[in-house]
Amino acid sequence: MHEGVSVHRYESSVLDALKKSGKSSLSELVSASGIGRDEVMWALENLKEKGMVSISYEESGRISLSKEGKEYAKDGLPEELLVKNLVKGSLKAADLDGSQRIGLQWGKKLGLIDIDGGMLRLTAEGRRAATAGIAMGDLLRSISKNPDDIRTAMHDGSLLTELSRRGLVEVRKQSVISSVELTGEGRKHVDKEDTDLIEEVDRAVISSGSWKTHGLKKYDVMVDVERQVPAMKHPLKRLIDKLKDAYVGMGYTEISGPAVESSFWVFDSLFVPQDHPARDAQDTFYVSNLKNENFGKLAYVNTVKKAHKKGWHFEWREDIAGQMLLRTHTTSVSSRYLYKIIDALKKNPEDYTLPIKLFSVGRVFRNETVDYRHLADFYQHDGMVIGRNLTLSNLFDELTKLYGSLGVKIKFKPSYFPFVEPGVEFMAYYEGRDEWIELGGAGMIREEITGVSRKKISVLAWGPGLDRTMLIKDRSISNISELYNNGVGWLRSRRVV
Amino acid sequence: MAAQQEGCIAMPVISINRKYLYGLIGKGMDDRKFSEYISKLGFAVEAVGEEDIAVEITANRLDLLDAVGLARTIKNFMHKSRRFHYEIEDEEPALEITVDKSVAAVRPFISAVAAFGVEMSDDLVLNLINFSEKFCETYGRNRRKIAMGFHDLDRIKGPLIYRSAGDIEFAPLGHRSKMKFSKVLETEEKGKQYGGAIRDEVRQFYPALSDSEGPIAFIPILNSERTRITPSTRNVFVDITGVSEYAVNKVTELLAAIFIDLGARTRRVKINYDGKTVLSPVMAKRYMTIPIKRAELEIGVGIGYNNIISLANKMGYEAGMVGNDIRFCIPEYRLDVIDEQDVIEDIAIGYGYEYINPLPIQYSQPGRLETKTEFNRRASDIMIGLGFSECTNSYLTNAQNNFAKAGIEGANAILLKNSNTESITMLRTWLLPSLLGNLGQSGHESMPQGIFEVDLAFEERMGRPVESNRLAFVSVNPKANFNDSKAAVEGLLYALGIDYTVSGSGHKAFIEGRCAKITVGGADVGFFGELHPEVLKNFGIEEAGIALELVLDSLYPKNQT
């Protein structure tokens, strides 16, 4: 044992209790230590390991009486009763009842009674027993009084065996601590400890200031404890919060829109031709029990119709545009607001201070074959700036700053989406794989969509997914579908990054 | 706009013989250089194999789905080529096609071009066939919109007639003996592949292009063996059929450009429609005039007159100054250039996105979150403070999980028409089943387990979708009872500053007499209580559980416009 070994609070209590006597029984220890029996046992195990105490064990146990045993303990053994009867007068063997016959059997066996010519008679031993009682009866009565005192009972082992054999008692033995003794090491430790060190800092200690004179006991800081599990925000929601705050920090106003949406706002208003593969049922979820959206007198429908005719050389069909589906991108939200704002700007150009910056975050859907790796719904965000003389270089600046505030470095390359021109794809450096991965699309919204020349109004827009950014930010997540599994073990093993 | 993410809407990927492609581009081309140019143009090399290179092209650039078009674009980009005009050399039509009105109902339009003196090779035959397949699958919408066929012109005994021929016989590609069109649909790979929507029409009309000896093509399925192109073919005939006159004409121009680049002499084909005659391809010149200021303003860089003309050339446009503007000639093979915006993008690509410096927008308005976002955040913070961990579940589910396991009757769900996944048939109508599912798989973790979610649920009302923002929690532990649920609910509502009342209620997911509802401003907004053992069992939960489902929409402050 080296110096400075630390002991747990319970161990310390036990050592304290042992300090004066140096040796103690378990029950004395429990009462002297002021902690529970289980805690004392736990502390003793540890102290034994540390070589501070030695423990002696002894056979122990409990004796319980059977129903018959209890009766005999109260009334006396049958042979005792018979002997007492015989003092009053002799009895005929033939006249004995059941209980008396048992008494006779044991009386003969113990040499207390003889039979002579059909008559019962006490022996000299029997006469003595009539006044002094018999040992077996005494033992039974003593057990009845102190069932735990197995040591006394065991003193005459053969008598106890006899009682057990007669079915009057049952003996259960176990090994128990008989005494605990402080070892040399334990003594050294105890002597070093100030006996008056305060363990528990309670109200009295604080108000009296007693710790100033007594000092405070040290703990074993290396003791293993069970880690506490904090309740936490979901990692994806945390990223969404961070993203939204980044947008707001750059002056964007949050918008939202329906997830169950018409083809019109998801595709047609965004200049996606009506025969575009993205609209195929193979890729997009359509719903079966909703009415088609009716555009009524929405003047914007004519802008859309004209744009499609010009760009795609097809007659645009309102019934196709009215079909309800689960949106495939949140750009439908931007589209709804873009229409509203352009419409308002046309009527009252003074009502708005340009540029207007808007963003939305929401769930989007793909008709994927879902398995443990593939999801059919996930998050996307959309940003949009409506203003005058906005440029591609402005777009690059907004995105670089937005992702910069998330700690993600991005770069740009040309790409194509029907609703933007120029089209942009932006990519992030993914350290985990040492490569640039695609985050999403961006660009300048086509004039066909606004119905207004870019000389008057220009619109920057982007719509990347969130999942890949999540992977870049939290390297402990290997697969995006993990995020939607929500097993309690997984939730509890998250770190806030 | 994330349409191309996660490989869902795949961009076309073409596979081309590297040697052949680099040979077309010219000396000094290698994998590294090719990859560099291709990515500057906005495309990507997907894979480099022993023989072939796989290139991902954006869906607008259909002129790049073959080696000749790709080589042309790279050569322009490297300033190695200056061909900006594609013209039909010989005005005399090479052939005549009569269009019978019997095709009007199924596939009304046809266009064609003839090319003479083509230096055909194994590589070129393969390139043309691959191009045709890829093109008709993508822009052609699996041949619904556009289909094309290459023929050996010398084998055609003109004139041609395009009509609904009925179920007649011909020897299709790969066969010497004749078979009926209906048999082609049943036994031939292409016949089976292009079934679906096309098939019904095809079965009804059997469109065919025929010469005096019979069909040279069963359209849009398969060509005849008789007119097959081979490495020894010198003169080529291409037919393009479809449902859009604009599209068939433009695609023919694109094809003519390929043969012109290959050094062939092209001739038109006369198409006789009922009531009009068209000389195909038209190859009309298209010009767009753009003020240089506009291009500079939209891109956000200063370019200058000389530079902008050089950038235009690099991107395949002939350009010249007209007053203070630049006049661009749109190449015949560019189907995607709709208006000035598309040209400006090409100028930006030519300039190089990597050289466009970010420029800040002048802006000074404060940003703002939606009221509901702020409210939801407060609610989440309180739930976490109460010891519940947050979850994020899919909105998609099925009736078994959403209704049956939770002990309730199915009603008002928004149903999906065409899910590719059997277990996904509808949108969730409430959040609790999602959370119960989460805990059902977590029985081995230590107790207590408390989770919550703040997100959307969906219902159908009068044929319209209704979205609701909700908060739900579930907590399981061996000692959980109704009072615990009430304590948590009251803690949440108090902290949110909601003026509420609680009264006894019934819900099949909960034990009778251990369920209560929450009323705010006279309307019921939620319910909570101790979960029914049957429901717990259905979700595989082995300890007692409490839960809340709360609709948040009416609780949001009403102060935002």
Query: Which pLDDT value is given to residue A108?
Result: 85
Q: Class of A9-59+176-214 per CATH?
A: mainly alpha
What pTM does this model have?
Answer: 0.79
> Are the C-beta atoms of residues A361 and A463 closer than 8 Å to each other?
no
Report chain B residues whose CB lies below 8 A from the CB of A454.
294, 298, 341
Band of pLDDT at residue B2, cut at 50, 70 and 90:
very low
Query: CA B209 to CA B222: how far, in whole Å?
Result: 11
CB-nearest to A400 from B5, B348, B358 is B358
CB-nearest to B467 from A258, A411, A465 is A258
Identify the weakest region by mean pLDDT among A127-141, B42-56, B205-219: A127-141
Are B56 and B106 in a shared domain?
no
Are B326 and B393 in a shared domain?
no
Identify the weakest region by mean pLDDT among A150-154, A485-489, B287-291, B456-460: A150-154
- Domain end (from B26, B53, B77): B77
Query: CA B20 to CA A210: how far, in whole Å?
Result: 94
Secondary structure string (H, E, C) spanning A263-279: HHHHCHHHCCCCCCHHH
Q: Is the confidence at residue B221, as pLDDT, over 60?
A: yes
Band of pLDDT at residue B559, cut at 50, 70 and 90:
low
Q: From A352, which residue of chain B is nearest by alpha-carbon distance?
A: B365
CB-nearest to B418 from A236, A285, A484 is A285
Share of chain A above pLDDT 90, in %: 39
Query: CA A215 to CA B288: how far, in whole Å?
Result: 92
Q: Which domain holds residue B465?
A: 371-555
Copy the structure tokens of residue B313: 């050339």
Asked if B355 is an interface residue toward chain A (Cβ–Cβ < 8 A), one would say: no
Identify the weakest region by mean pLDDT among A166-170, A260-264, A451-455, B106-110: A166-170
Residue with tokens 């071009």: B113
pLDDT tens sequence across A201-215: 889 888 998 888 888
Mean pLDDT of A151-162: 76
User: Does B410 map to a domain?
Assistant: yes
User: Does B160 map to a domain?
Assistant: yes
Are B234 and B102 in a shared domain?
yes
Are B229 and B324 in a shared domain?
no
Report chain A residues whose CB lies below 8 A from the CB of B361.
355, 385, 387, 390, 394, 397-398
At CA B10, angle to CA B5 and CA B14, rounded to 5?
135
Band of pLDDT at residue B10, cut at 50, 70 and 90:
low
Query: Which pLDDT value is given to residue B196?
Result: 58
Report chain A residues whose CB lies below 8 A from the CB of B394.
375-377, 484
Band of pLDDT at residue B198, cut at 50, 70 and 90:
low
Highest mean pLDDT among A62-66, A341-345, B483-487: B483-487
Please give the mean pLDDT across all residues of chain A: 87
Are B393 and B499 in a shared domain?
yes
Query: Do β-strands A420-430 and A410-414 pair in parallel, antiparallel, or remain unpaired?
Result: antiparallel
Residue A332 CA from chain centroid, whole number:
40
Report chain A residues whose CB lies below 8 A from the CB of B427.
260, 326
**Sequential DSSP letters for B291-358:** EHHHHHHHHTS---HHHHHHHHHHTT-EEEEETTEEEEEEPTT-SS--SHHHHHHHHHHHH-GGG---
In sequence order, the 6+-apart residues with CB closer than 8 A to the CB of B352 are B40
> Are the C-beta atoms of residues B557 and B485 closer than 8 Å to each other?
no
pLDDT tens sequence across A52-111: 898 888 777 778 888 888 888 888 888 888 888 888 877 888 888 888 888 888 888 888
Selected residue of B4, B5, B446 to mutate for chain A interface (largest A Cβ count, 10 A): B5
Q: Kindly state the DSSP code that residue B2 receives in the 8-state scheme.
A: G
C-beta neighbour count of B436 within 10 angstroms: 26
Report chain B residues whose CB lies below 8 A from the CB of A277.
9, 138, 141
Residue with tokens 């429609």: B273
Residue with tokens 């910069």: A404
User: Does B84 map to a domain?
Assistant: no
Where is pLDDT greater, at A176 or A363?
Answer: A363
Interface contact flag, B9 A248, Cβ < 8 Å: no
Mean pLDDT of B292-305: 90
Are B337 and B265 in a shared domain?
no
Are B431 and B528 in a shared domain?
yes
Please give the mean pLDDT across all residues of chain B: 92
**Sequential DSSP letters for A136-170:** HHHHHHHHHH-TT-HHHHHHTHHHHHHHHHTTSEE
Are B94 and B218 in a shared domain?
yes
Q: Is CATH 1.10.3470 correct for A64-175?
A: no
Mean pLDDT of B533-559: 94
Query: Which pLDDT value is given to residue B197?
Result: 52
Residue B159: asked if its preceding bond is cis (omega within 30°), the reply is: yes
pLDDT tens sequence across B349-365: 999 999 999 999 998 88
Q: Is the confidence at residue A4, as pLDDT, over 90?
A: no
Band of pLDDT at residue A194, cut at 50, 70 and 90:
low
CA distance B141 to chain A (A): 7
Query: CA B36 to CA B350: how far, in whole Å?
Result: 13
**Sequential DSSP letters for A326-387:** E-S-THHHHHHHHHHHHHHHHH-GGG-PSPEEEEEEEEEE------SS--SEEEEEEEEEEE
Are B270 and B291 in a shared domain?
no
Copy the structure tokens of residue B190: 């292409």
Share of chain A above pLDDT 70, in %: 97
pLDDT tens sequence across B67-93: 999 999 999 999 888 889 999 987 789
DSSP SS3 for A33:
helix
User: Does B83 map to a domain?
Assistant: no
CATH code, B477: 3.30.930.10
Asked if B63 is an interface residue toward chain A (Cβ–Cβ < 8 A), one would say: no
User: Does B140 map to a domain?
Assistant: yes
Query: Which pLDDT value is given to residue A3?
Result: 44
pLDDT tens sequence across B440-466: 989 888 889 999 999 999 999 999 999
User: Does B6 map to a domain?
Assistant: no
CATH code, B141: 3.50.40.10
Are B151 and B204 in a shared domain?
yes
Whether A64-175 shares its CATH topology with A236-492 is answered no
pLDDT tens sequence across A370-419: 877 778 999 999 999 999 999 999 999 999 999 999 999 999 999 999 99
Q: Is the confidence at residue B194, as pLDDT, over 90?
A: no
Are B118 and B232 in a shared domain?
yes
Query: Which pLDDT value is given to residue B195?
Result: 60
CATH of domain A236-492: 3.30.930.10
Identify the weakest region by mean pLDDT among A156-170, A452-466, B34-48: A156-170
Mean pLDDT of A465-484: 87
- Domain end (from B25, B44, B77): B77
Can you give the residue ranges of every domain in chain A? Answer: 9-59+176-214, 64-175, 236-492
Identify the weakest region by mean pLDDT among A459-463, B181-185, B288-292: B181-185
Q: Is the confidence at residue A1, as pLDDT, over 60?
A: no
Interface contact flag, A423 B244, Cβ < 8 Å: no
Selected residue of A391, A438, A444 to mutate for chain B interface (largest B Cβ count, 10 A): A391
Q: What is the ipTM of this complex?
A: 0.92
Where is pLDDT greater, at B205 or B149?
Answer: B149
Selected residue of A254, A372, A392, A419 to mutate for chain B interface (largest B Cβ count, 10 A): A392
Report chain B residues whose CB lies below 8 A from the CB of A386.
none
User: Count of domains in chain B?
Assistant: 4
Selected residue of A228, A241, A244, A287 to mutate for chain B interface (largest B Cβ count, 10 A): A287
Q: Is the confidence at residue B7, as pLDDT, over 60?
A: no
Where is pLDDT greater, at A393 or A112?
Answer: A393
Are B462 and B498 in a shared domain?
yes
